[in-house]
Amino acid sequence: MALIVQKYGGTSVADVARINAVADRVVKTHEQGHEVVVVVSAMAGETDRLIQLAKQITDRPNERELDQLVATGEQVSIALLAMAIEQRGHQARSFLAHQVRIRTDSNFSRASILSIDASSILDRLGERKIAVVAGFQGIDDEGNITTLGRGGSDTTAVAVAAALHADVCEIYTDVNGVYTTDPNVCPTARKLKRISHDEMLELASLGAKVLHIRSVAFAKKFGVPLHVRSSFSDEEGTWVVPEEKEMESAPITGVTYAKNEMRLRVLGVPDTPTATRDLVAPLAGAGLHIDVMVQSASVDGFFDLAFTVPKDEALQARELIEHAADELGAVGVESEGPVAKVSVVGVGIRTHTQAPGKVFETLARENIPIQMIAFSEIRLSVIIDENHLNTAVNALHQAFGLDSSAGGEAGCETV
Q: Rounded CA gap, 91 and 164, in Å?
A: 20
Q: Which of 11, 12, 41, 188 touches ligand ASP (CB under 6 A)?
A: 41
Q: Rounded CA gap, 128 and 65, in Å?
A: 37
Q: Is 183 in the site for ligand ASP (CB under 6 A)?
A: no
Residue 178 binding: pick among Mg ion, ligand ADP, ligand ASP, none (C-beta 5-8 Å cut-off by kind) = ligand ADP
Q: Is 310 in the site for ligand ADP (CB under 6 A)?
A: no
Question: Near ligand ADP by CB under 6 A, which window of 104-112, 172-180, 294-302, 369-377?
Answer: 172-180
Q: How many residues bind ligand ADP (CB under 6 A)?
A: 20
Nearer to Mg ion, 13 or 410 (CB): 13
Q: Is 210 in the site for ligand ADP (CB under 6 A)?
A: yes
Q: What is the distance of C-alpha 341 from the center of its chain? A: 15
Which has the closest alpha carbon to 345: 202, 247, 249?
202
Q: Rounded CA gap, 153 and 127, in Å?
A: 25
Least CB distance from residue 41 to ligand ASP, whole Å? 3
Least CB distance from residue 150 to ligand ASP, whole Å? 4
In a 10 Å sphere around its CB, with 0-12 CB exposed, 13-18 middle and 19+ buried, how is residue 75 labelled? middle
- H or E stretch at 92: strand 92-95
Q: Is 337 in the site for ligand ASP (CB under 6 A)?
A: no
326 phi and psi angles, rounded to 5 deg: -60, -50
Q: Which of 35, 140, 182, 313 touches ligand ADP (CB under 6 A)?
A: 182
- H or E stretch at 86: helix 72-87
Nearer to ligand ADP, 138 or 177 (CB): 177
Q: Which of 146, 173, 253, 308 touches ligand ADP (CB under 6 A)?
A: 173
Which has the closest alpha carbon to 222: 115, 125, 146, 96?
115
Least CB distance from residue 73 to ligand ASP, whole Å? 5
DSSP 267: E
Distance of CA 70 to CAs 53, 84, 111, 134, Å?
A: 10, 23, 14, 12
Q: Is 183 in the site for ligand ADP (CB under 6 A)?
A: yes
Residue 184 binding: pick among ligand ADP, ligand ASP, Mg ion, none (C-beta 5-8 Å cut-off by kind) = ligand ADP
Nearer to ligand ASP, 149 or 268 (CB): 149
Peptide bond into 338 cis (omega under 30): yes
Q: Is 337 in the site for ligand ADP (CB under 6 A)?
A: no
Least CB distance from residue 184 to ligand ADP, whole Å? 4
Q: Is 9 in the site for ligand ADP (CB under 6 A)?
A: yes
Partners of 4 in the beta sheet?
A: 36, 168
The strand pair at 226-230 and 238-241 is best described as antiparallel
Which has the closest alpha carbon to 346: 301, 380, 308?
380
Least CB distance from residue 227 to ligand ADP, whole Å? 14
Q: Which of 146, 181, 343, 371 touches ligand ADP (CB under 6 A)?
A: 181
Q: Is 138 in the site for ligand ASP (CB under 6 A)?
A: no
Binding interface with ligand ASP (CB under 6 A): 9-10, 41-42, 47, 73, 135-136, 150-153
